[in-house]
Structure 1
Amino acid sequence: MGARPGRKPVQPDPAAGPVAALAYRLWELKTKAGDPSYAEMSTRMGAAASKSSLAAAARGQVLPTWETTWEFVRVLAVHRLKQDAAEARREWRAHWERAASAARSETTEGRTGHDETSTGHIGTTEDHTGHDETSTGRIETEVRTAERLERRARPLLARRTAMIAAVATAGAALFTWLAPLSGNDEPTASATPARAASPYDDSAFEQDVTHPDGTVVKTGTEFTKIWRIRNTGTILWRGRYLTRLNDTPCRAPKRVEIRMVQPGEPVDIAVRVRASDSPGRCKIYWKMTDETGTQLLSAKKPIFLDVVVG
């Protein structure tokens, strides 16, 4: 086929840091698997991640999400090199966690002496789904920076809430003192101090990105179902999963990890499904849970995949 057009990718230096070392391992895996293009990995090979996400993971400039890392590994190590999926997942999860921990430690050490109330800027990377994470071109918050931002935001929010309450109370007192001077004998409504809203958890289904209800798929084929939902509450989503509720002739993983999602942010969730070997209908229900399998947002209806195998 000849050389691929465009700039030649630069091989990451494993000595440049924990993120670069992880990228170097991914680079070696890609070379061992025949060096397919990132576009081929994202389309023909079926990775549930965009080609730009996969390319960024192997550059070593920012830490990719675990979901992007696993999609990189899954299509190369498991499908192309025929490695055991469970063993490959354990091995690469350990590599990723070591890189994340070391990178987080480096970031903490590098910020020693800085004001803990400063927010900084949020580093980003692209989503792990076949489409860009929130919409085309949208980028997601890096895990370690989001955690640091959330930790620093707590005292700021507490101080801000106390300040609002104090101002409201002072305003009510001033109004009570001035009211008799106005000459208006009619009763007036007393001011009520402002209250901070209680945190709450909520979600909204937005669309089927791929394979809408009634889509016909061929028997025995693999395909990726993607839903888009939005965090409409005020709580950061972290450590959450979509967990399958029922069994059908179509095969799908028991649960799928959801990346960290900020309040107000949408997220695309991808599930790899294998169609049954005989014609029929496959309708699989999924519910959001935590790491222990406890269902969240119990008032919400499950989301589902509904395809016709033929």
Structure 2
Amino acid sequence: MSEFGAPERARIIEEFVGRLLKLREEAGSPSFRAMSKRSGAISHATMHDAVQGTRLPSWETTVEFAKACGVEPETLRAEWERANTALLRSGAEESAGGSASAQAAPAPTPRKDHYSGGPSKSAVMFGVAGLVVGIVVGFFVLKIMNGSDANPGAAATTPAAASTPAAAASKPTAARSAILSTGTGSCEKNPPPHPSPSTDPRYKIKLMTDVTLGDCKPAPMGKKLTKAWTFKNVGSQPLKGLKMKRLGPYRGPTLDCKTPEETPVKTIEPGEIVRVNMPFETATERVDCFVRFMFIKPDGTYAFDYQQPIFVSVHVK
């Protein structure tokens, strides 16, 4: 018997899916429709399917899922390749032991034709016919899925339903700008000034300006700088004890830009605008730095429901 089995395969898939779910949570738990719009490449149904745990998402789907969460896809490549290799090995060992694999079909027995150097003519013809049928079916499936995305009535939410956390989580969040190609990675800009989504209108904060280190701007290598933003309290109550918490670990001086894990924010009275200064040390190698932050309360929980990350995105040259 193989050391791999259904429980082991499920564990491998669940472990990677858990990583994707964590990214989505850190991004503020956007709806799959909102993620699909940010991606612009795959449907909300594909986004949803990626985290169901029935199979390992393809690398292409993983890339778009990461982008929709504001994460550099390359940070997931090693984990995805480990999981994919383990599943392929699992399928090979199970086939050798006489059991069917859930993800890898057993290799067909080659025909003993007079010509054994390649596939037979009939096999090629059947293969071409199957490809054509697959393309036609795929076209209609995508058309149906895109049609459901474009139908505003399908995602309509009544005010009463939106008052619950589950319904509010499914509401589309503020759209981010498009991801811009930078050669070695990606660069994304913070959205225009908008209040953080919140179910409590008394507590709201609004990003006003990037004072220093504007999005997608160049920065020198190995320099200690200051990143600064201005924020406005657009709620009716003072905002006390807020901190900006970095999401994701610091990966080292050659791969990443260094910031504090948490940066305190002074009390902001209703209607007041404050400047937040954060120490920011650029990488020692040429790289695209993309660092995300969320507001947290003194107890470490998120300060605003369904908030979007605030991020720094610079080209270190």
TM-score, normalising length from structure 2? 0.34
